[in-house]
Structure 1
Amino acid sequence: MVRSEFLQALGRSPEAPPRLAADHPPLLLVVVDTEEEFDWSRPHARENTGVSAIAAQGRAQEVFARHGIVPTYVIDYPVAATPAAVAALRVFADRGECRIGTHLHPWVNPPHSEAVNARNSYPGNLPADLERAKLEALTTAIAEGFGSRPVIYKAGRYGVGPATAGILEQLGYLIDVSVVPYTSFSGDGGPDFSQAGFQPSWFGSDGTLLEIPLSCGFHGLLRSLGPAVYPHASSPLGMRVRLPGMLARSGLLERIRLTPEGVDLAANLRLARSLFQQGCRIFSFTYHSPSMFPGMTPYVRSDAELATFLDTMDRFFRFFREELGGRPSDPLEVYSLLRRGQPVPQRQPAGAELNQPAQ
């Protein structure tokens, strides 16, 4: 159910909550869930390991280049284990046009010792030793494929758990980007982030792990009451009477995630303006890599929808720069800025001698 241990850990650091100054230009991160293709309407399956959509990421890179954006591709095991996919992404990585992080889909990541089902699709629900073994296998594959060890993590299905923070420390990670504010995945056993906000947090045993949440928040007249009201609106009863849609159409309360997937340009702009007014200065924009190939996700089913998808990104990035006065960034730069001049720690993974990332 609720992964309370992880969420409570976000508030335990002796360090002050990390914030940029109110007059600091807002920063935009782009995080791409870079993964295998599968039918989103069917159960997870180990045999879904195709990664042909990785070759299509160049279309998005053209948009990023126009705005000086260096995205972070958080990649899962089928991608890391496929030489052609690694080669395609290394073209961008070797030119400094992207960062590489980690994305754990347990059902396609060795060792394969758990049952494949909805609950086990959240990595944090696995026994701690299995969660660690899977993440260690993925981390090693990425380090071997890209020549440096990843330090940015995003749990598959946002599934952090009670052991995740300790595992990240053990394996040398610095940054987690798994939390989805004001959102619960507890319906099929996932984490409940209903009370998690959009601001970054230090966590971990020594307070040097950084959580950078996805940008998700509320717009509307009842925006300030969103964290209290929305869990009730999105309850089984509320969903049966379509209360979230009614609240959104009335202009009272709308929960929006910053993404081109199922969210149109106008809604992305509403969210960005709302979060900015609430003091947000670090924005995280995200999508799934198979959306770049029509027919592989519910969000992009045709060439026309792909064109709209890319146009939404292009126009949002322009808005972010021109209206909000923002600029692109990446998780490691944000980490450095929030440490206020302190050096980024070179955390040595327990029991390993692997390369550290270039800074």
Structure 2
Amino acid sequence: MYRHKQKIQLPAELPPQLIVVIDTEEEFDWNAEPNPGETAVTAMDHIHRAQDIFNEYGLRPCYVVDYSIASQQRSVAPLRQFLEAGQCEIGAHLHPWVNPPLEEPFTRSNMYPGNLPADLEREKLTVLRDTIADAFGQTPVTYKAGRYGYGPNTTATLNALGFDIDLSVCPPLDARGDGGPDYRRYDAWPFWYGEAEQRILELPVTGGFVGWANGMSVPLFELAQMFRRLKAPGILSRLGAVDRLMLSPEGFTPKEHIKLTRFLYNQGVRTFTWSFHSPSVVPGHTSYVQNEQQLRAFLDAFREYFDFFFNELGGQANTPTGLKSLMEKFA
């Protein structure tokens, strides 16, 4: 999928760079079959709960918005306010089952846009790009595939539509069970890919297998998954052998965020992505935030990690487009 990869090695003395990416989307049941009728965006009434924290720390998040968000005034209004105040960037996030034209069978596999026929994937992303441009007054250049579903034709589509930053790689996700991608062999390092004259910058979701198992992490973790009833994954984690972590407040704790960041930083990684889904700012919309107590823990994790990153690690805030400009200096 990502041909002609060129890993980007940033100087060790460069302060670590943090971007925030929000999968900004409608409220739907992640475990159900795709339903084109589920397009509610009520959680966007409360997106300021997260944005207010970003403003405290001087972070300009990138809201990657899907068609449900970009086509409804209720969700466009707060984001346009942030954008006009210079407080965010806007990118594209393709959820095929709610994005015209709706021509494909509504199956779990087709929720991954890269599985669609090339012409249909391009037509849907064209509609999304143009809808975003109409709603926000600027054409997006940053893309994140819905459900991380990058496919064999996606690069050509991004090139044709003017996208030059991708955020779809999600180590260590393995979504092959319902037709999705397998990112277990990818890591958190950014890279260029594609043809030289139309290269795209990849800024992966920050995640990976952490521990001393190193090259044996994937097979060891898979073996442990076979013995989950015996709590084998937890045992490996406590032994420091391998732990599967992501830099997200959804399902991971501040202690784990810091553990992952220190591990990657010591390996030489200098770019980090804090990511989550917009419906999580309201209890009941995602499995991660079901009540007010979980909401408080969710938002508290932002501040705890940002305090560590900026104060203890000496990091700097950035954006996807800002990182692209930075990477070009070291090309």
Question: TM above 0.5, one fold?
Answer: yes
In structure 2, the residue matched to 1:96 is 86
Equivalent in the alignment of 1:175: 165
Does the CA contact (< 8 Å) of 2:96 and 2:124 recur in 1? yes
Q: Does 1:243 align with 2:232?
A: yes
2:221 matches 1:230:
yes
Which residue of structure 2 aligns with residue 218 of structure 1? 209
1:257 to 2:241 alignment: no
Which residue number corresponds to residue 275 of structure 2? Answer: 286
* Per-residue Cα deviation, 1:229-269 (whole angstroms, up to 9, x for no partner): 334444xx355655333322333210100000011111111
- RMSD of aligned Cα (Å): 1.6
CA distance in 2, matches of 1:146, 1:46: 24
- Aligned residue number for residue 353 of structure 1: none
- Deviation track 1:189-242 (CA, whole Å, cap 9, x = no partner) reads 1111111121111112235211110000232332453245334444xx355655
Alignment of 1:250-329 (within 5 A): 250-329=239-318
SS in 2 for 1:160: coil
Alignment deviations for residues 246-296 of structure 1 (CA, whole Å, 9 cap, x no partner): 322333210100000011111111111111111110001100000001111
Shift of 1:103: 0.4
SS in 1 for 2:279: helix
Give the Cα–Cα distance (whole angstroms) in 2 for the partners of residues 186 and 243 of structure 1. 22
Corresponding position: 1:69 with 2:59: yes
Letter in 2 for 1:107: W
Q: Which amino acid aligns with 1:31?
A: V
Whole-Å Cα distance in 2 between the matches of residues 232 and 170 of structure 1?
A: 42
1:84-105, Cα deviation, whole Å (9 max, x unpaired)? 2111110101111000000001
1:44 and 2:34 equivalent?
yes
Where does structure 2 lack aligned partners over 5 or more consecutive residues? none
CA pair 295-333 structure 1, distance change in 2 beyond 3 A: same
- % identical aligned pairs: 44
Which region of structure 1 is more displaced relative to structure 2, 171-180 or 210-219?
210-219
> Does the 8 Å CA contact 1:57/1:289 hold for their aligned counterparts?
yes
Aligned residues: 330
- Within-5 A mapping of 1:133-148: 133-148=123-138
Q: Which runs of 5+ in 1 are unaligned?
A: 1-5, 343-359
Amino acid in structure 2 at the alignment position of 1:162:
P
2:86 is aligned with 1:83? no
Flag the structure with higher helix content.
Answer: 2
Q: Which residue of 1 aligns with 2:20?
A: 30
* Residue pair 1:19, 1:338 contacting (<8 A) in 2 also: no
The normalised TM-score by structure 2 is 0.95
**Deviation at 1:322?**
1.2
Structure 2 CA distance, aligned partners of 1:64 and 1:155? Answer: 24
Q: TM-score, normalised by structure 1?
A: 0.88
Distance in 2 between residues matched to 1:186 and 1:219, nearest whole Å:
22
Distance 1:183 1:85 in 2: 29
Contact kept in structure 1, 2:41 and 2:74, CA below 8 Å: no
Task: Say yes or no: does 1:162 pair with 2:152.
Answer: yes
- The residue type equivalent to 1:253 in the other structure is V
For residue 7 of structure 2, give the secondary structure of its aligned residue in structure 1. Answer: coil
Determine if contact 1:194/1:231 at 8 Å carries over to the other structure.
no
